[in-house]
Structure 1
Amino acid sequence: MNEMKKVAVIGTGVIGNGWIARFLGQGCDVIAFDPAEGAEEKTRQVVKSVWSSLEKLGLAADASMDRLTFVSTIEEAVQDADLIQENVPERVDVKKSVLTSIDQYAKPDAIIGSSTSGIMATTLQEGLQYPGRVIVAHPFNPVYILPLVELVGGEATTAQIIEQAKSYYKSVQMKPLVINKEIEGHVADRLMEALWREALHLVNDGVATTEEIDAAIIYGAGLRWAQMGPFLTFHLAGGEQGMRHMLEQFGPALKLPWTKLEAPELTDELKEKVIEGCESHAGDVTISELESKRNEFLVKLLDLVEDYWPESNV
């Protein structure tokens, strides 16, 4: 039984709709607000299209697409919500304006989670009536399948609020990762951006194509990371002595000029290399078809991950 049953979702783009699908699949009542024309129709279409993935993952007994309601104001959306998920564009001024409205109308004890991928919670809390209950709750696309959510409190946030938020997100089958120190980009995105910068350099310098770089991850590092992540992967690379030997043997390589610490300039030439490479790689397969294949794969992969790490600390 969920501890939290009424959720408000503010902003129904890709991430907002992903949250809505997950919440509905876990038996929540969802009140949504988005002023964009056609937002409700698009959201209902998205939920319907991904429902089969949710069924494979396992729906709550009381899950229903009919538990979604769209309203015309932020006040209507948040006034009775236990958890409010904000997903507006990644601009500080826009987010702070929307959060000010949410803070004004939400119950004092409601948790407000921002899906921001890079803005720090303390920045979002500035000037609010109840600043401590505004936290970063950053998910990963597709939210209705991938369970990780990074939780970061700000200067006004108490441990009790983080624990309550952690409990809420666990109740909808998320894996909350509590980050105790604020930093731009949090944790997972900073790791992904480091790989992305290196990939762009390799394409820009003519070392590898977009397809070759994807293959290097798919058939190499990516397979290992899905099970163990980078640290345990390198722990195994050290043989019987594990990480101790690995650092002794390969540690000096960290000083070799392999990595590019700064992103390459995103010139028109580099943009076209990346765009043409991706379009060529995808071929005649549409974005919708790619998404369906991705979802089917991730559902199967998650089952495998749970088989090997059923007692994960996250």
Structure 2
Amino acid sequence: MNDKGRIAVVGAGLIGGGWVLHFLRLGRDVSAYDPAEGAGARLRDMVTRDWPTMERMGLAEGANRARLTFHDSLAGALEGAEAVLECAPERLEVKQVLFEDMDRTALPETLLFSCSSSFTISEIRVRTRRPERCLLGHPFNPPHILPLVEVAGGPRESEPVRRAMAFWEAAGKVPVHLRKELPGHLVNRLTAALFREAVHLIAEDVADVEDIDKAIAFGPGPRLALAGPFMNYHLGGGAGGIEHYMRHLGPSQV
């Protein structure tokens, strides 16, 4: 990927820092902007601390921490960017203002991604002039380790979404497209459902916190690391697959 334009990261906290690490590992030029006092120093400290992990994961040709530049203005960070990753605090007004500014400042062909874990991209891009190039690009934390990215903001066959899916695939990620927008997107809602049930089991005094954590970590957890819920149930049905499982065991588990 190191023959493309640079990647701009707006917001240098945990998620933004993870993206900086990921794209530096790929040999990309990365620019960052965060108006918080001391943000640049904290970002460089994070990159220095976690760079050995990037080395163990494997560095692309040209990968170098020196390819990071921290800017004191949004315009400086966005100049010449192929894609912009917004990782600002989870406040809707902040993100709306940022996207209005980014849409006005970035090159017309630049993809603008929000990494929001809660808000829909339609809420975030409401003030922009080119809403079609403003898309959700929500990672699963930490983004420099885990491959998932959720993409939303248009039909899968639309030109911006096709570009977005290709961008993330070229970046070594596994993008999933959401046909509909909804708060929390896809993966956070799935994990929240599990957590709600865990809290309910605590409230019902079925087990303690430690045993519930063990039950997941040493039971379905490793299986879910290899395959999703539908494939797990399909495999659980043996030769008859998920149909056999639901027919014979489903009624007793409702």
TM-score range, shorter chain: over 0.9
CA offset at residue 254 of structure 1?
5.2
CA offset at residue 29 of structure 1?
0.8
Bigger drift between 45-54 and 61-70 goes to 45-54
Cα distance in 1 between the residues matched to 2:121 and 2:253? 33
Question: Is the contact made by 1:132 and 1:158 (CA closer than 8 Å) also made in structure 2?
Answer: no
Match of 1:273 in 2: none
What's the C-alpha RMSD, in Å, of the aligned pairs? Answer: 1.6
Match of 1:163 in 2: 162
- Residue 85 of structure 1 aligns to which amino acid in structure 2? L
Cα distance in 1 between the residues matched to 2:64 and 2:203? 47
- Residue 42 of structure 2 aligns to which amino acid in structure 1? K
Within 5 A, what are the aligned runs for 1:95-244? 95-154=95-154, 159-244=158-243
Cα distance in 2 between the residues matched to 1:205 and 1:4? 55
| Equivalenced residues, count | 254
Question: Is the contact made by 1:4 and 1:171 (CA closer than 8 Å) also made in structure 2?
Answer: no
Question: Is the contact made by 1:3 and 1:171 (CA closer than 8 Å) also made in structure 2?
Answer: no
Q: Does 1:56 align with 2:56?
A: yes
> Structure 2: any 5+ residue segments left out of the alignment?
none
> Structure 1: any 5+ residue segments left out of the alignment?
256-314
Question: Is the contact made by 1:154 and 1:182 (CA closer than 8 Å) also made in structure 2?
Answer: no
Return the TM-score normalized by structure 1: 0.77
Question: Is the contact made by 1:92 and 1:119 (CA closer than 8 Å) also made in structure 2?
Answer: yes
Match of 1:9 in 2: 9
Bigger drift between 200-209 and 241-250 goes to 200-209
1:222-261 deviations in Å (ceiling 9; x for gaps): 0111112211111122122111111112222454xxxxxx
Does the residue aligned with 1:227 lie in a helix, a strand or coil?
coil
Q: Which consecutive segments of 4 or more residues in structure 1 shift more than 4 A? A: none
Cα distance in 2 between the residues matched to 1:188 and 1:208? 26
Change (3 A) 1:62 1:185: same
- Residue 103 of structure 1 aligns to which amino acid in structure 2? D
Pick the structure with more helix per residue.
1
- Residue 60 of structure 2 aligns to which amino acid in structure 1? A
Does the residue aligned with 2:245 lie in a helix, a strand or coil?
helix
Question: Is the contact made by 1:11 and 1:33 (CA closer than 8 Å) also made in structure 2?
Answer: yes
Cα distance in 2 between the residues matched to 1:110 and 1:148? 22
Cα distance in 2 between the residues matched to 1:4 and 1:138? 22
Return the TM-score normalized by structure 2: 0.94
Question: Is the contact made by 1:138 and 1:151 (CA closer than 8 Å) also made in structure 2?
Answer: yes
Cα distance in 1 between the residues matched to 2:200 and 2:2? 46
Cα distance in 2 between the residues matched to 1:23 and 1:150? 18
Cα distance in 1 between the residues matched to 2:88 and 2:157? 25
